[in-house]
């Protein structure tokens, strides 16, 4: 294995390319976005990830990593393109299909083809392998075809690409071993070989487990509000039990995994997945729950000014994919009653359809701050500025990340029993 061709230079493909390049391999990263390609060839990147700008600059300067708009012949091909969902919440595997068709003309006997994109069960056997067959490639004998789902946490991707256990599922046992050996060259964690469909389902269940657990926490928030209980304290105490680990509640579930992957299971087994579907409904309801609390807080105000803090689905990253914060912000902007200012120090204006404000602009004259992402900047707020600039210093913290401070009324999402309307 000397040359690797990575298709897709997004949140997974770009770090993966950089890691292999750092290990000494010749890596060509392929993307349809000319801007992304041009930036990478200058040693620059278009996404935010800890340590990635420095690493990319280093490996590009060394000549180990370059970008292209088209694939090239290589020993290993890694497909790392998105798999969004259609409006009917079935998986959209068009990008995987396009990527497979794009690399097929460059495949040679003995090559390894790995799909890292998250996909529904049996996609490797029922979609990817037949495409190769149509291009005259025997997917079961000529090349080694496998699925190795990414399993990383944004903000820790460069660490977890190396240290996390990797699950590698081939469409043949030989493919499992060949693909696993690709990762063994760089991974310090365990690399486990299995069948393709098992690898596909294992990734989906990892994220579905977390989605269901978060749904339990979010349902607890609603119950606690009705009963006047602090859900955050309940979770903290319940988690003292050695076999209990309730996740944290929030304004909904976002990102390209947790908010999407459960639907890939549901579409293949609708009647058999009522729990998974209910969890999705609960988490999807949270932006509306947040909006209800904002309406209650501002019901006595004539023209409430609201400062939205955070658009990403989690803290300290720039990823807004499937973010509930985006949905909540859109609902606020759609209501002519609200004067909305939006602040997120990690998001660029070209990523969203909103006009972004500075911190000072957002809080100036505001009645309410709604915290929708747990960025470090929000954990270390300048409360002097808030008290000085806000008309009524009230914060609704949906991520339970803002510390209490004298002179500022703070409502946390899991402790709303004492919520009262803001008065001018």
Which residue from 297, 325, 300 is spatially nearest to 393, judged by alpha carbons? 297
pLDDT band, very low/low/confident/very high, at 424 (cuts 50, 70, 90): confident
For residue 401, what pLDDT is reported? 97
Does a structural domain hold residue 267? no
What average pLDDT is seen over the chain? 96
The total of structural domains in the chain comes to: 2
Does a structural domain hold residue 76? yes
User: 194-244 pLDDT, tens per residue?
Assistant: 999 999 999 999 999 999 999 999 999 999 999 999 999 999 999 999 999
Cα distances from 69 to residues 59, 101, 188, 307, in angstroms, run: 19, 14, 32, 41
Question: Catalytic: which of 5, 148, 257, 401?
Answer: 257
Residues 291 and 194 in one domain: no
Residue 266 has pLDDT above 80, yes or no: yes
For residue 12, what pLDDT is reported? 94
Residues 192 and 73 in one domain: yes
User: 66-111 pLDDT, tens per residue?
Assistant: 999 999 999 999 999 999 999 999 999 999 999 999 999 999 999 9
Residues 14 and 150 in one domain: yes
Does a structural domain hold residue 26? yes
Does a structural domain hold residue 207? no
Does a structural domain hold residue 294? yes
Question: Catalytic: which of 178, 203, 305, 314?
Answer: 203
Q: What is the mean pLDDT of residues 271-279?
A: 98
What DSSP assignment string belongs to 108-139?
-TT-EEEE-S---TTHIIIIIHHHHHHTT--T
Q: Of the candidates 170, 202, 234, which is a domain's last residue?
A: 202
**130: Cβ–Cβ under 8 A, 6 or more apart, which residues?**
139
Q: Of the candidates 183, 202, 221, which is a domain's last residue?
A: 202
User: 107-146 pLDDT, tens per residue?
Assistant: 999 999 999 999 999 999 999 999 999 999 999 999 999 9
For residue 146, what pLDDT is reported? 98
pLDDT band, very low/low/confident/very high, at 1 (cuts 50, 70, 90): low
Does a structural domain hold residue 143? yes
Place of tokens 């003292």: 240
Residues 192 and 289 in one domain: no
Residues 45 and 193 in one domain: yes
Rounded to the nearest 5°, which phi and psi values hold at 48? -105, 120
Q: State the Cα–Cα distance between residues 260 and 393, nearest whole angstrom.
A: 36
The token pair that represents 286 in the structure block:
């949270």
- CATH, residue 51: 3.40.50.720
* Residues belonging to the chain: 424
Residues 173 and 291 in one domain: no
User: 336-382 pLDDT, tens per residue?
Assistant: 999 999 999 999 999 999 999 999 999 999 999 999 999 999 999 99
Residues 26 and 171 in one domain: yes
The token pair that represents 165 in the structure block:
């256990």
SS3 387: helix
Q: What is the mean pLDDT of residues 156-183?
A: 96
Domain carrying residue 37: 3-202
pLDDT band, very low/low/confident/very high, at 419 (cuts 50, 70, 90): very high
For residue 140, what pLDDT is reported? 96
**409: Cβ–Cβ under 8 A, 6 or more apart, which residues?**
392, 393, 394, 395
pLDDT band, very low/low/confident/very high, at 288 (cuts 50, 70, 90): very high
Q: State the Cα–Cα distance between residues 28 and 71, nearest whole angstrom.
A: 8
For residue 285, what pLDDT is reported? 98
How distant is the alpha carbon of residue 130 from its chain centre?
30
Kindly state the DSSP code that residue 45 receives in the 8-state scheme.
Answer: -
Q: State the Cα–Cα distance between residues 21 and 227, nearest whole angstrom.
A: 55
Higher pLDDT, 256 or 148: 148
Q: State the Cα–Cα distance between residues 180 and 107, nearest whole angstrom.
A: 19
Q: Of the candidates 180, 202, 224, which is a domain's last residue?
A: 202
Between the two ends of the chain, the Cα-to-Cα distance in Å is 68
Residue 274 has pLDDT above 90, yes or no: yes
Is 295 catalytic? The answer is no
Cα distances from 221 to residues 67, 259, 327, 386, 421, in angstroms, run: 47, 19, 19, 27, 19
Q: State the Cα–Cα distance between residues 106 and 245, nearest whole angstrom.
A: 47
Is 203 catalytic? The answer is yes
Does a structural domain hold residue 380? yes
Task: Specify the pTM.
Answer: 0.91
Q: What is the mean pLDDT of residues 13-23?
A: 97
Residues 177 and 296 in one domain: no
Does a structural domain hold residue 230? no
* Secondary structure tally for the chain: helices H, strands E: 16, 13
């Amino acid at each position: 294995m000397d040359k690797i061709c990575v298709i897709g230079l997004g949140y997974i493909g770009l770090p993966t390319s950089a890691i292999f390049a750092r290990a000494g391999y010749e890596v060509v990263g392929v993307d349809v976005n000319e801007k992304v390609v041009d930036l990478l060839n200058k040693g620059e990147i278009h996404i935010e990830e800890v340590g990635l700008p420095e690493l990319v600059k280093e490996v590009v300067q060394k000549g180990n990593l370059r970008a292209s708009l088209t694939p090239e012949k290589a020993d290993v091909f890694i497909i790392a393109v998105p798999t969004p969902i259609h409006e009917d919440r079935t998986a959209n595997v068009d990008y995987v299909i396009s990527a497979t068709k794009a690399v097929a003309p460059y495949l040679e006997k003995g090559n390894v083809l790995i799909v890292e994109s998250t996909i529904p069960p049996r996609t490797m056997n029922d979609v990817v392998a037949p495409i190769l067959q149509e291009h005259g490639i025997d997917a079961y004998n000529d090349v080694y075809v496998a699925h190795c789902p990414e399993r990383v946490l944004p903000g820790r991707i460069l660490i977890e690409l190396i240290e996390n256990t990797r699950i590698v599922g081939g469409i043949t046992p030989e493919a499992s071993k060949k693909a696993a050996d690709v990762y063994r060259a760089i991974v310090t964690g365990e690399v486990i070989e299995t069948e393709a469909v098992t690898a596909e389902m294992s990734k989906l269940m990892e994220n579905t487990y977390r989605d269901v657990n978060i749904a339990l926490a979010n349902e607890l928030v609603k119950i606690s509000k009705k009963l006047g209980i602090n859900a955050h304290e309940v979770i903290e105490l319940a988690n003292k039990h050695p076999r209990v680990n309730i996740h944290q509640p929030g304004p909904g579930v976002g990102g390209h995994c947790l908010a999407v992957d459960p639907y890939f299971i549901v579409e293949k087994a609708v009647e058999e997945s009522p729990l998974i579907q209910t969890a999705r409904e609960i988490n999807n309801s949270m932006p509306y729950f947040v909006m209800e609390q904002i309406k209650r807080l501002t019901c006595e105000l004539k023209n409430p000014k609201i400062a939205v803090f955070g658009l990403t689905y989690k803290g300290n990253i720039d990823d807004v994919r499937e973010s509930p914060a985006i949905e909540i912000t859109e609902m606020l902007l759609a209501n002519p009653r609200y004067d909305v200012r939006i602040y997120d120090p990690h998001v660029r204006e070209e990523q969203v359809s909103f006009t972004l404000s500075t911190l000072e602009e957002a809080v100036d004259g505001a009645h309410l701050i709604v915290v929708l992402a747990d960025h470090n900047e929000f954990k270390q707020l300048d409360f002097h500025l808030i008290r000085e600039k806000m008309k009524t210093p009230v914060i609704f913290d949906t991520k339970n990340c803002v510390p209490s401070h004298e002179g500022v009324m703070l409502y946390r999402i899991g402790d709303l029993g004492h919520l009262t309307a803001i008065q001018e």
